[in-house]
Homo-oligomer: A and B are copies of this chain.
């Protein structure tokens, strides 16, 4: 069974968006693009790629982050953060020869036990279609394949349920996420 089918199989099937359908899946190692050939309601081909390739145009990423209203950050620091992240995942929509960045996420890690997710973003045009969920499942699968057992994140209040549906637990056993602020 292909990865994409896997994503929307079993208990997840009911929440699978009907605007996308599985057509094809080519397994690929980390670092290679993972093409997903999908179709919209009208049968028009819609190709979604997930990739762990870090060669991302930082201006395009900034545009994506602008679209969800995030504060701008120095591109020099964004470049460094991508370089030193353990895993970087991006999601692309391809129409003909043109591709467009529609999602992004990255994880820091000690390469052994823990990973922490940062900068998870899906373009507003593409939200509510199950693509953010698909990207997250892709990311989790990658981390698990690297033997990372503890995947953590800090969720804004309005996305807590999104992550809960993916299997993330808030404050398990009373553990509190804490942020340092200077006195």
Contact = CB atoms under 8 A, between A and B. Distances in A.
Contact of A160 (B77, B167, B178): B178
Interface in A1-44: 11
A170 B180 CA distance: 9
B175 A156 contact: yes
A157 B174 contact: yes
Interface string A158-179: 0010011011111111111111
Contacts of A170: 176-178
A154 B157 contact: no
A77, A173, A179, A181 — which one has the most chain B CB atoms within 10 A of its CB? A179
A169 B179 contact: yes
Contact of A73 (B113, B177, B180): B113
Nearest to A79: B112
Interface stretch (A48-56, A103-111, A121-129): A103-111
Interface residues of A, number: 51
Given A150-B179, A160-B178, A177-B176, A116 B113 contact: no
A175 B150 contact: no
A140 interface: yes
Given A169-B178, A170-B176, A114 B108 contact: yes
A7 to B, nearest CB: 12
B108 A109 contact: yes
Interface of A: 11, 73, 77-78, 80-86, 106, 108-114, 116, 118, 140, 150-157, 160, 163-164, 166-183
Given A150-B180, A157-B174, 5 more contacts: A81-B114, A151-B180, A153-B178, A157-B176, A166-B180
